């Protein structure tokens, strides 16, 4: 790559550092000498530990992104938001009913949504966050669950919400309500669990456990493979 | 964004695609497999390993990077630390807040134990969160735990410990049901039938998934439940040493608060190590898929306390790590991409391996294609081969990738590559620690009152883990560890707390002229570098 050796200037909490062009904010901060304690988890866009606020030099706009998935640019000013004291409700899932009442009881603030769309605009997963909150307001748990499914709980939406809604916690409540109380149960699964508890496979497995390596290997090579 | 050269090479892949769609590449025979592994797999490269000189596995070969941490001294000033000043006094201490640790904590709490879960980063910042592909269980009519057993043993080179595999396959459906009841949104048909596909080395379609966020869905659900149950969690406080009592039982651990830099003493009747794997040791100088905290801490602590390790000379390289773009080199391209039909293709647009051979075999085939046969595609970090993802859209319909592989799709789109239209470049990456601390089917180590679950444990996967068996393993043995540790705690009487074992390990190191380094390393050090 031609641009490989190019360096750019970035400002980490106001301090200037020269870092290689084209790397992620996370790798650039390490290159600059940081050893993360907070603000770094999976390093691959799954855990939401690395939310970052940044601004490009020619703009007043504050942007947010994941440090592990956003590339540095020349003149970027940035800081991480490693923690946010967000509200979370506690509940006994098995005792809840999948209803609007349940959502509002745990997160009454969803009714305060102003429809400003900030959350959707900044979500690094490009989710329609405002829409899933709107679905939650209507008690449409299935829609809230599906639309929020790819949420990595990075907290960036909540950090910008003027109504102080914690969208990702509403999302996980909806998903767990859906998974437990709305999605149809797998009948074949229940049946298999019954068979196992009744010991149906014990004999066959004990035979396999005692088998010589050669015999096992023979059976392994000869096993038929589902197409 | 692909370079102009890459775009022109992609035309070759596109030209052969129609023909390849109809072409089934032959599977390798047992002899061919052995041959390719011995010639190309890093496990068989002589200079990548050396025998460890101290401890219960003295004389056995392991990768240098692992031996380095096993032969390190404690970070604690053993004589200076006052073990009487106990900060937490609990029934069960769980070390590690990934999937195995959280499942263990839930089961222990359910049994009435007081539980403390100590973890290094945030609760859930773990390899579990990153698993995309799926979790195995024989839940379908054409499948059975016995077939699952055979697949697992074959994958592991028939060296898995039979009792552990029996527990794995028999508990599997029970664990899926447990997760279903906790509200995990597995992908299902409208009638509730769980969707399942193949993974490398499976003979039945038994890979259950939640789109390609399977691990994240499991992890966030377990974490949410732990919060609901009020389980006490301390974050950014890794364990750095196990504590024993004067009768040789495990009796707690020393934690280190990464932020205040203070030590904390935990006394516990039973301890569960669930610290996960070791990808961040960058074995063989390889990039890795693993999270930031995967530094083999649990192995180091347990080894010093006298626990035996098994199969640590077997390291899993995932055949399809990202080879391009440079920003995300080493990150995982889930096996599900091959499960859905994408083929591996060389620079001439030809297949060179059946895509769903076991991981060790596929990785070796890619090494061979790039090194010996010189048919790799040049990338800034070396070589890659094509993974022909657009085939998925042709086989299963347009839009399948965005629907079934949203995490993957998003990852590449962030860097201007649309994998539904263009193939992607992959190369093997350090992925999984096949071995670990030896356990039995009750998740007990050889040290009284010390339990181990998940990637930190060893034996269940033999020398090579199948995809989907690890997410399963962490739930099966996490639950077993939690339940058994809580039961055991009811009868445990602890003596005086001591770090004598650490002292004598330090002495052993000294005698060998070792112990210049300090471990566990807790966090990798990438300062002044561009990390892999
Ligand atoms: C990218 C990726 C994709 C994968 N895909 C699949 C898949 O599709 N199917 C499958 O079955 N498996 C998959 N795996 C493997 C599987 O996800 C892991 O092996 C499994 O989740 C490990 O779980 P665990 O709980 O043992 O460890 P982890 O989930 O890694 O949890 C360990 C926790 O302990 C913490 N810790 C570490 N050291 C200390 C310490 N000293 N003190 C306290 N805490 C500590 C860690 O920070 C972490 O939070 C994948 C792995 C990766 C990395
Ligand atoms: S919905 Fe909110 S918490 Fe979830 S990924 Fe988007 S911004 Fe992050
Ligand atoms: S940011 Fe808050 S108020 Fe604005 S649309 Fe989103 S949820 Fe509603
Ligand atoms: S470190 Fe996990 S999302 Fe960035």
Report CA B327 to chain centroid distance, whole Å.
Answer: 22
Find out whether the beta carbon of A143 lies less than 6 Å from any atom of ligand 4. no
C-alpha dist (Å) from residue B265 to A190, B173, B237, B497, B499: 44, 38, 11, 10, 12
Point out the ligand 4 atom lying closest to the alpha carbon of residue A46.
3
Max alpha carbon distance in chain B (Å)? 73
From A54, A80, A106, the end of a domain falls on A80
Task: Look at the block and give the residue holding tokens 């590690």.
Answer: B96
Domain membership of residue A159 (yes or no) is: yes
Residues A108 and A144 in one domain: yes
Residue of B183, B225, B530 with shortest CB distance to A175: B183
Number of domains in chain A: 2
From A59, A80, A101, the end of a domain falls on A80
Domain membership of residue A190 (yes or no) is: no
- pTM beyond cutoff 0.90: yes
Residues A51 and A102 in one domain: no
Residues A140 and A167 in one domain: yes
Given a contact cutoff of 8 angstroms between Cβ atoms, the answer to whether A9 and A20 are in contact is no
DSSP for A74-123, please give it. TTEEEEE------------GGG--SSHHHHHHH-GGGGG-----HHHHH-
A168-177 pLDDT per residue, tens: 999 999 999 9
CATH number at residue A38: 3.10.20.30
Give me the total of CB pairs closer than 8 Å, taking one residue from chain A and one from chain B.
230
Domain membership of residue A205 (yes or no) is: no
A69 CB neighbours in chain B (<8 A) are: 328, 411, 414
Residues A53 and A108 in one domain: no
Q: Which of A23, A38, A49 to mutate to test the pocket of ligand 4 (most atoms within 8 A of CB)?
A: A49
Q: Which residue is closest to A142 within chain B, CA to CA?
A: B185
Residues A29 and A68 in one domain: yes
Residues A97 and A174 in one domain: yes
Residues A67 and A144 in one domain: no
Question: Is the Cβ pair A209, B198 closer than 8 Å?
Answer: no
CATH number at residue A107: 1.10.1060.10
CA of B256 to the centre of ligand 2 (A): 31
Residues A178 and A98 in one domain: yes
Tell me the residue range of the domain where A38 lies: 2-80
Rg (CA), chain A: 25
Domain membership of residue A48 (yes or no) is: yes
Domain membership of residue A194 (yes or no) is: no
Token digits of residue A186: 């797998």
Task: Look at the block and give the residue holding tokens 């031609």.
Answer: A2
Phi, psi (deg, nearest 5) at residue B204:
-130, 155
Token digits of residue B315: 């390291």
Residues A57 and A25 in one domain: yes
Q: Which residues of B are catalytic?
A: 318, 338
From A15, A48, A80, the end of a domain falls on A80
Report CA A142 to chain centroid distance, whole Å.
Answer: 18
Residues A54 and A107 in one domain: no
Domain membership of residue A196 (yes or no) is: no
Residues A51 and A30 in one domain: yes
Alpha helix segments (H runs only) across B287-345? 297-304, 336-339
In tens digits, chain B (532 residues) has pLDDT values of 899 999 999 999 999 999 999 998 999 998 999 999 999 999 998 888 999 999 999 999 999 999 999 999 999 999 999 999 999 999 999 999 999 999 999 999 999 999 999 999 999 999 999 999 899 999 999 999 999 999 999 999 999 999 999 999 999 999 999 999 999 999 999 999 999 999 888 999 999 999 989 999 999 999 999 999 999 999 999 999 999 999 999 999 999 999 999 999 999 999 999 999 999 999 988 999 999 999 999 999 999 999 999 999 999 999 999 999 988 999 999 988 998 999 999 999 999 999 999 889 999 999 999 999 999 999 988 899 999 999 999 999 999 999 989 989 998 998 999 999 999 999 999 999 999 999 999 999 999 999 999 999 999 999 999 999 999 999 999 999 999 999 999 999 999 999 999 999 999 999 999 999 999 999 999 999 988 8
Question: Which secondary structure element, helix H or strand E, spans residue B318, and what is its range?
Answer: strand B315-322
Domain membership of residue A210 (yes or no) is: no
Phi, psi (deg, nearest 5) at residue B132:
-105, -50
Find out whether the beta carbon of B125 lies less than 6 Å from any atom of ligand 1. yes
3-state SS, residue A42: coil
A98-157 pLDDT per residue, tens: 999 999 999 999 999 999 999 999 999 999 999 999 999 999 999 999 999 999 999 999
Residues A66 and A34 in one domain: yes
By CB atoms closer than 10 A (0-12, 13-18, 19+), residue B164 is buried
Domain membership of residue A126 (yes or no) is: yes
């Amino acid at each position: 790559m031609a641009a490989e050796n190019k360096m750019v200037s970035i400002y980490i909490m106001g301090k200037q550092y020269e870092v290689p062009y084209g790397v992620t904010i996370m790798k650039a901060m390490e290159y600059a000498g940081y050893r993360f304690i907070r603000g770094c988890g999976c390093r691959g866009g799954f855990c939401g530990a690395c939310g970052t606020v940044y601004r490009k030099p020619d703009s007043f706009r504050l942007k947010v992104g994941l440090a592990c998935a956003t590339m540095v640019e020349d003149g970027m000013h940035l800081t991480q938001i490693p923690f946010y004291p967000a509200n979370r409700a506690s509940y006994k899932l098995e005792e809840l009913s999948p209803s609007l009442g349940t959502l509002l009881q745990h997160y009454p603030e969803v009714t305060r949504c102003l429809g400003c769309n900030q959350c959707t605009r900044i979500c690094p997963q490009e989710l329609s966050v405002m829409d899933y909150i709107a679905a939650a307001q209507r008690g449409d748990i299935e829609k809230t669950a599906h639309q929020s499914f790819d949420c990595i709980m990075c907290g960036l939406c909540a950090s910008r919400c003027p109504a102080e809604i914690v969208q990702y916690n509403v999302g996980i409540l909806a998903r767990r309500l859906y998974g437990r109380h709305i999605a149809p149960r797998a009948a074949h699964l229940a049946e298999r669990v019954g068979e196992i508890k009744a010991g149906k496979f014990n004999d066959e497995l004990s035979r396999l456990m005692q088998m010589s390596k050669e015999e096992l290997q023979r059976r392994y090579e000869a096993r038929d493979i589902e197409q | 964004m692909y370079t102009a050269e890459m775009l022109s090479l992609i035309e070759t892949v596109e030209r052969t695609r129609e023909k390849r769609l109809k072409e089934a590449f032959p599977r390798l025979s047992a002899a061919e497999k052995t041959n390719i592994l011995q010639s190309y797999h890093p496990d068989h490269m002589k200079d990548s390993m050396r025998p460890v000189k101290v401890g219960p596995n003295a004389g056995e070969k392991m990768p240098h990077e692992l031996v380095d941490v096993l032969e390190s001294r404690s970070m604690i000033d053993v004589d200076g630390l006052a073990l009487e000043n106990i900060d937490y006094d609990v029934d069960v201490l769980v070390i590690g807040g990934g999937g195995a640790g959280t499942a263990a904590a839930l089961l222990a709490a359910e049994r009435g134990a007081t539980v403390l879960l100590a973890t290094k980063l945030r609760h859930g910042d773990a390899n579990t969160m990153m698993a995309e592909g799926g979790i195995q269980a024989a839940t379908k009519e054409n499948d059975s735990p016995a077939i699952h057993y055979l697949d697992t043993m074959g994958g592991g080179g028939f060296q898995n410990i039979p009792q552990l595999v029996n527990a794995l396959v028999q508990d599997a459906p029970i664990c899926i049901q447990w997760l279903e009841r906790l509200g995990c949104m597995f992908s299902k048909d409208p009638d509730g039938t769980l969707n399942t596909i193949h993974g490398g080395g499976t003979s039945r379609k038994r890979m259950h998934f939640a789109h390609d966020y399977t691990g994240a869905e499991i992890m966030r659900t377990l974490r949410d439940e732990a919060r609901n149950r009020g389980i006490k969690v301390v974050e950014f406080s890794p364990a750095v040493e196990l504590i024993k009592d004067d009768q040789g039982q495990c009796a707690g651990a020393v934690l280190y608060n990464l932020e205040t830099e203070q030590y904390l003493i935990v006394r516990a009747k039973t301890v569960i190590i669930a610290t996960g794997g070791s990808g961040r040791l960058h074995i063989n100088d390889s990039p890795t898929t693993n999270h930031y905290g995967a530094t083999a801490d649990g192995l180091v602590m347990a080894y010093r306390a006298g626990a035996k390790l098994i199969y640590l000379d077997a390291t899993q390289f995932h055949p399809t790590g990202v080879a391009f773009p440079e920003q995300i080199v080493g990150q995982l391209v889930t096996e599900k991409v091959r499960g859905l039909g994408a083929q591996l293709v060389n620079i001439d647009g030809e297949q060179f391996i059946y895509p769903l051979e076991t991981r060790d075999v596929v990785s070796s085939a890619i090494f061979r294609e790039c090194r010996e046969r010189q048919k790799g595609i040049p990338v800034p970090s070396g070589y890659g081969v094509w993974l022909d993802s657009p085939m998925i859209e042709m086989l299963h319909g347009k839009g399948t990738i965005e629907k079934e592989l949203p995490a993957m799709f998003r990852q590449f789109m962030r860097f201007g590559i649309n994998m539904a239209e263009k193939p992607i470049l992959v190369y093997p990456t350090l992925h999984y620690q096949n071995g670990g601390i030896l356990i039995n089917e009750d998740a007990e180590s050889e040290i009284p009152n010390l339990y181990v679950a998940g990637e930190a444990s060893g034996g269940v996967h033999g020398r090579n883990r199948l995809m989907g068996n690890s997410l399963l393993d962490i739930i099966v043995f996490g639950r077993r560890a939690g339940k058994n540790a809580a039961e055991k705690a009811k009868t445990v009487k602890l003596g005086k707390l001591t770090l004598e074992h650490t002292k004598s390990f330090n002495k052993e190191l000294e005698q060998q002229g070792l112990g210049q380094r300090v471990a566990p390393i807790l966090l990798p050090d990438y300062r002044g570098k561009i990390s892999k």
